[in-house]
Structure 1
Amino acid sequence: MTDTGRPHPADEGGEVSAADRAVEQVFREERGRLLASLVGRFGDLDLAEEVASEAVEAALRHWPVDGVPARPGAWLLTTARRKAVDRLRRDQTYATRLAVLQAEADRAAPAPPADTTRDLPDERLQLFFTCAHPALAEDARGALVLRCLAGLTTPEVARAYLMPTATMAQRIVRAKKKIREARVPFRVPGPDELPRRLPGVLQVLYSIFTEGYAASAGPRLQRLDLAEEAIRLTRLLHRLLPTEREVTGLLALMLLVHARRAARTGPDGALVLLADQDRSRWDRPMIEEGLALVPRALAPGPPGPYGVQAAIAALHDEATDPADTDWPQIVALYDVLLAIAPSPVVALNRAVAVALRDGPAAGLALLDALADEPRLRGHHPYAAARAELLHLLGRRAEAVVAYRAALALAGTAPERAHLRRRLDAALAAGDAPCS
C-alpha cells in the first residue's frame, strides 16, 4: 500500500489481478467522495485517510475471494465508517467526541443504505474548500488538494513542489494540524463568503495545472499526470458549481491549452514553439469542448481573469495557421486582463502579443519598460522573449547576453536545449562576441 492507501499495481514480481485493478480504479474515482464523507462524519482528516487506507486493504483481501461488489464505492465507504467507529471506541481520547458525533447523527436524517449510488456533491465541495482554506499557506493548500482530492502520494506531491519527501510530509502534517487546531470549518462557504474564497480554490487548481503544462524543473517540459489531475479536479468542481463563470473559464482554459500537449514537444522531447507546432496533432475534441465553454465563461457580467485567458487560448486554437492568428483581438483581451488582474507576467505576455501585431521594436519597448520588475528577474521567459526580439532586430550582441541570462534561469532540460540552440544561432550570425 502507498501512504495514501492507494494499492500498488502489483506485488513484487507479481502480476496485477482483476481485483487489484478494480480497487485501484474505484479508489481513484471515489477517493474524494470517500474522504469527504468520512471527514464530514468524523471531522478528522487524518482519521479519514487512515480508515480509507484500511478499507482499501480490506478490499484487496476480500474482493479476490468474494468478487467485486456491485457498488464498490459504497462498500469502501461502509467499511471505512465501521473501522473509524471501532478505532474511536478503542481510543479513550476520542470517547467524548464519538458520543457527540453519535448524538448529532441521531438528530440527523436516517443515513441511506450502504448500497446507495447517491452522489455527495456538497461533501466533496466542502473538502475542496477545507483543503484550500486561506488559513493555510499557499503551497500547503495545493499539497492538500493533490494529496486528498487527487490521491497523489506524499512523494508524488513532493516531486510536484520540487522538495524532499520528508519536507513535504512535515508540511502536510502541519497543514492538517492547522486545520484541526484552528477549527477550520468543513463546509461550503455561504453566498456572502463564496466570492472571496473561490478564487483561492481556483488558484490552487491553476497552479497544479501550470506545473503540469510547463514544469519548473526536470528532464521533461510537461508533466502530463499533474495537468490531467488538475483538469479532472476542475471538472469535478465545475459539476459542483456549474453556474460559477470563473470555474467554467478555468476549465475552458485548461482544456484549450492541454489540447496542444502532443505538439509541444518533438519525438525526442525537444521543445516546439507554438508557431512551429504541427496543428494536426492538436486534440480537436478537447478544443471543441473548451470552445463550447468560453461563451458561458464570458456571459454577461464583469469578466473574470480565467474567462479572459480562455478566450485568448481559444483564438490561438481557432487559428489553422500561425499567420491566421488574430493578434489585434489577443492584444485587446490582454488589455482587459491587465485591467482586471494586473501582473508582470500578464504584461510580459501582452508585450509579446504586441510584438507579433506591431513588430519586434514595439514589443521590445514594452519589455524594456518591465526591466526593473523584481518578479521578472528570475523568470526565464522574460529574458528569452527579449533575446528573440533583439535577435529579430539584428542586435545580436545584446541578444546573446539575454539568451545567456535565460539559459541560466531555465529549469527544464528541453527549455535549456532550445535556448542553447538559439544562443548558438546568435553567435553564428557573426555580430556577437564569442566569449
Structure 2
Amino acid sequence: MFNRLRVTSVAIALAGLGCAAGPGLAQQKYDPGVSDTEIKIGNIMPYSGPASAFGAIGATYEAYLRMINDQGGINGRKINFLSYDDSYSPPKAVEQTRKLVEGDNVLLMFGAAGTPSNTAIQKYLNAKRVPQLFVTSGATKWGDPKNYPWTIGWQPTYQVESEVYAKYIQENHPAAKIGILFQNDDFGKDYLQAFKTALGDKAKGLIVTEIPYEITSPTIDAEILKLKASGADVFFNVSTPKFAAQAIRKMAEIQWKPVHMLSIVSVSVSSVLKPAGLENAQGILSVNYSKDPTDPRWKDDAGVKEWNAFMDKYMPRADKDNWLHVPSYSIVQTLVQVLRQAGDDLTRENVMRQAANLKDFTTGMLLPGITINTSPTNFYPIRQMQMMRFKDDRWEMFGPVVSSDAKG
C-alpha cells in the first residue's frame, strides 16, 4: 500500500476502445492532456492519514489500467494515470488538484475518494471546466448538473442508503431508540441529514442522540460510552474504517449490543471487521450493490471469475477480503466505457457528455438487476441497493434489491 506522497505515472493503453460514439466524431479533437499517443488522467487519494484504508481504491485503479495496457490499447494512445496523496486533507486536496490540472495538464479528474476532499475541489474544477468524474463518495452534492455540470458521482448516494435503513427500521423496529455516531465533517453531516430525511416526521421521535467525532481524534471510546448511556437500542454508525473498527471493539468491551447499522464505506472485512474481531462483528447490518467475491454463491459467476483473474495477476499481494477492491474495479470500468464512447473526440466537453449518456451499463461485479444509467439531468449513476448481514466470516445478502428516486 502507499504510505507517503506518491505519484503513479502509468502508461496505459485503453484496450478495446473502439469507434467514436455517433456521427461527426471521426475528426480527432483534443483538449489539454491528450495527444495522438497519450491521455493524462488525474486522481487524488488518501494514501496516508486517518483514511488511508481508502488507498486500496487508488491501487485498484492503477492495476486495472495497467491490465488494459497489457491488452493492447487503442490506436497507440496511452493513458498516464497520475495519482497523488491528499491525506484526506481538504487543503492538500486543493493543492494536489491544482498541480494536476495546471502543472500536469490532465484531461480530467477521476475517482477521487472522500467527501471533504471532493467538496474542496468541486468549485475549482467546475470553474476550470474540468470533468470531476465518478466521485468516490455518496454525498448527494455530486448529482447537481444545474449548478455543477462538470461533477458526477458514481455510487448510490447516502440518501439512497439511508432510505434502505429507514425502511428496515420502520418495518422491524418501529419503536426504536436510535443513536447516531457521525464524523464531524461533510461526510458525516451529509449522512446524518440524509438519514433524518429518510425517517421523515418520525425522526424526532426515534432518534435519541447524535454524537459527532473528529477525524483527528485518536479514539472514539468516549463517544461509544455516551451512545450506550443514551439508551439507544439501534445504532447507526457513520464512521470511516479506522473509527468503525474502534467502535465495534469498544461495543464488545462494554457489552453494548444494539441493532448495529454500519455505513457502506466501512464494510471491508480485512480493514475493518478483522481488526475489530470477527466475533465482535456478528449480526452487523449494512447495504451493498456489488457481488461479494468470497460468497460461495458466486463461485461460478463469470464476472467474479474475471475479477479473480484480474486480482491474481495484477494485485497478487492484495487482500481479496478488502471490499474496496470490488467497487473501485467497477468504477474504473465505467471510466473506460466513457472513453470508449468518446472515441477520438477527447475534449473535456465531450467526455462529460458521454459520462452523462450511460444507458444500462453494467460491470461483472454489480449485483444482478443493478445497472448504471445517466442523462443530462441524472448524475446519480446507481440508485439501487440490497441489505446484508455479517455472519461468521462474510456478509450475507437478504431481502429485495431496493430502488430509489432520491434526488438529493
TM category (shorter chain) comes to under 0.3
Q: What TM-score results when the alignment is normalised by the length of structure 1?
A: 0.24
